[in-house]
Amino acid sequence: MNRVISFFKKPCRWAAMYGVILALAFTLVLLDVFVIPKAQVRVEPPATPVYPESSEHDDSAGYIVPDAATNTAEKEEDKDEAAEENLPANPVITDTSYVDKNISISIDTVRNNATTLYVADIQISNVSYLKTALAKNVFGRNIKQTTSAMAEERQAIFAVNGDYYGFRDTGYVLRNGVNYRDSGKDNALVIDSGGNLSIAHEGAVSMETLVAGGAWQIFSFGPVLVLDGEITVDDSSEVGRAKRGNPRTAIGQAGELHYIVIVSDGRTKESQGLSLLELAEEFAERGCSVAYNLDGGGSSTMVFNGRIVNNPTDGRREGEREVSDIVYIGYE
Amino acid sequence: MSISAMNRRWLVRTALIFLLVSAACIAATNIYALFGHGVRSASMDTMFLYPLLMGAAPWLLLAALFPMMGRRRLFRPAFNLYNSGIAALTTGAMLNGILEIAGTASAYQPLFMAAGWIFVFIGFILFLIPDSGGRTDRKAKNP
């Protein structure tokens, strides 16, 4: 013991050793949080897509519920047929709209509060066309892809970034009926098997209860912008420690299978960005009963027919940020 | 130069180093805020207080009131542990600030704060242990 004490009595020996250890620990924590990918669950897509029951589903659009009695070869045939049948007949597509018998999307560019907003009005015939996807089909921390790359892989007609669940260790994550994470303490957005949006407090309602009640997708970011048609944020509301004007992404419900998705530019000379109150007002004006803020800032990206609609930027450089997940409309 | 004056000078030099660290913390906080779209963190904003109030201030007081304390046998390990605690607390506060500003968290960050307070506590206890029979560390020119 005395020898150890004597060794460290020499000037700078302790300081040098401790400084190196502290710097290493600091660097490792930052790498762990921001860089090192940690895959936890690989998403295994079913042989044929299976979606929650809905009476309004148009079978001609082509989703097949697998029959347990059919053999593998038959399933493969079904899969091929389904892929062909999935393609809608004669969609009408323009730069700002898409219409087929199941999906109708129109995108308006609006200028409000010194900010450019991209407002997507979406009507679908079945909740199965409102989908989510995880980057690289893997659930985990720091598993990332750009919104446009994920949209392209899934041939999405329309896509926006999700809640970037992989940047946090808590918050409910339920995607396509699969529970990936059931810890959290904030208000989460629930999309049920009927396509209806609602809000659940993670501390008050368990994941099991929500799933038993028909939850199909759950996002955890927030805050809630509109609930029961009333704006629920005020001028002082903000995400964590973000400043007021930001690029934003949010989703709201205006009717049965009728959704409003808004992405705003921000942090640029052309667009200062929206406060949460300003964003909530946009949803309330459009008659949304529920609206919920998703991840924003540099993550905010809207993709339509393979083209990035907004001007994604984190304020330092232009371009898309890689994120954990997307919400999209499509057939794949 | 008397031993008392040497100790005092050494303690004052340590306090000045902590003052410099404190100033560096303020500068780092403001530079980080410049690149963070104006987003600030209370944890990062106040991290300069650790080296200022727990580092510079006590060492200046010690230099003024008890300069001979540095002659104690356990002074050096106490000094090392106490200062290491301040370094861990300052680093932990900076880390917390970075994570807060980014909107995320790490299970490891609280370990910095825990280690910091433990080091500070042990160091402080060692400061209080008197030398048996008035022995002092005769080998050291300064602590």
| Range A136-158 burial, b when 16+ CB lie within 10 A, else e | bbbbbbbbbbbbbbbbeebebbb
Given a contact cutoff of 8 angstroms between Cβ atoms, the answer to whether A124 and A99 are in contact is no
Rounded Cα gap, residues A66 and A164, in angstroms: 31
In tens, the pLDDT along A93-140 reads 999 999 999 999 999 999 999 999 999 999 999 999 999 999 999 999
In tens, the pLDDT along A276-285 reads 999 999 999 9
- B82 to chain A: which residues are within 8 Å by CB? none
Residue B36 in any domain: the answer is: yes
In chain B, the number of structural domains is 1
Residue B86 in any domain: the answer is: yes
Quick one: pLDDT at residue A204? 94
Could you tell me the sign of the dihedral formed by the alpha carbons of A80, A83, A86, A87, in that order?
A: negative
Residue of B nearest to A29 (CA): B108
Q: What percent of chain A has pLDDT over 90?
A: 70
Residue B98 in any domain: the answer is: yes
SS3 content of chain A, % helix, strand, coil (to 5): 25, 35, 40
- A166 to chain B: which residues are within 8 Å by CB? none
The answer, for B134 touching chain A at a CB cutoff of 8 Å, is no
Given a contact cutoff of 8 angstroms between Cβ atoms, the answer to whether A116 and A247 are in contact is no
Let me know how long chain B is: 143
Single out the residue of A291, A309, A210 nearest to residue A254, CA to CA.
A291
Residue A95 burial (C-beta neighbours within 10 Å; 0-12, 13-18, 19+): exposed
What is the rounded average pLDDT of the residues B7-28?
Answer: 93
CB pairs under 8 A between A and B: 67
- Pick out chain A residues at pLDDT < 50: 46-51, 53-73, 75-76, 79, 82-83
- B107 to chain A: which residues are within 8 Å by CB? 169
Residue B58 in any domain: the answer is: yes
Domain interval for residue B53 = 3-134
Residue B89 in any domain: the answer is: yes
Task: Say if the Cβ atoms of A167 and B37 lie within 8 Å.
Answer: no
Query: Six-digit token pair at A29?
Result: 């924590």
* Single pTM value for the model: 0.78
Given a contact cutoff of 8 angstroms between Cβ atoms, the answer to whether A159 and A151 are in contact is yes
Quick one: pLDDT at residue A13? 85
Rounded (10°) CA dihedral B2, B4, B10, B14: -160
Rounded (10°) CA dihedral A184, A186, A187, A191: -20
The answer, for B77 touching chain A at a CB cutoff of 8 Å, is yes
Rounded Cα gap, residues B42 and B49, in angstroms: 12
Task: Say if the Cβ atoms of A29 and B140 lie within 8 Å.
Answer: no
Label residue B68 by pLDDT band (50, 70, 90).
confident
Number of C-beta neighbours around residue A125 at 10 A: 17
Label residue B129 by pLDDT band (50, 70, 90).
confident
Task: Please give the ipTM for the structure prediction.
Answer: 0.88
Q: Ramachandran region of residue A306, left (φ > 0), alpha (ψ -120 to 50) or beta?
A: left
Given a contact cutoff of 8 angstroms between Cβ atoms, the answer to whether B89 and B37 are in contact is no
Which of B80, B118, B122 is most worth mutating to test chain A (most A CB atoms within 10 A of its CB)?
Answer: B80
Query: Six-digit token pair at A254?
Result: 């205006």
Residue B59 in any domain: the answer is: yes
Residue B143 in any domain: the answer is: no
Nearest-CA distance A217 → chain B (Å) = 22
A94 half-sphere exposure, CB direction, 13 A CA radius: 8
The answer, for B69 touching chain A at a CB cutoff of 8 Å, is no
DSSP states of A163-179 as a string? --GGG-S-S-EEETTEE
Given a contact cutoff of 8 angstroms between Cβ atoms, the answer to whether B143 and B126 are in contact is no
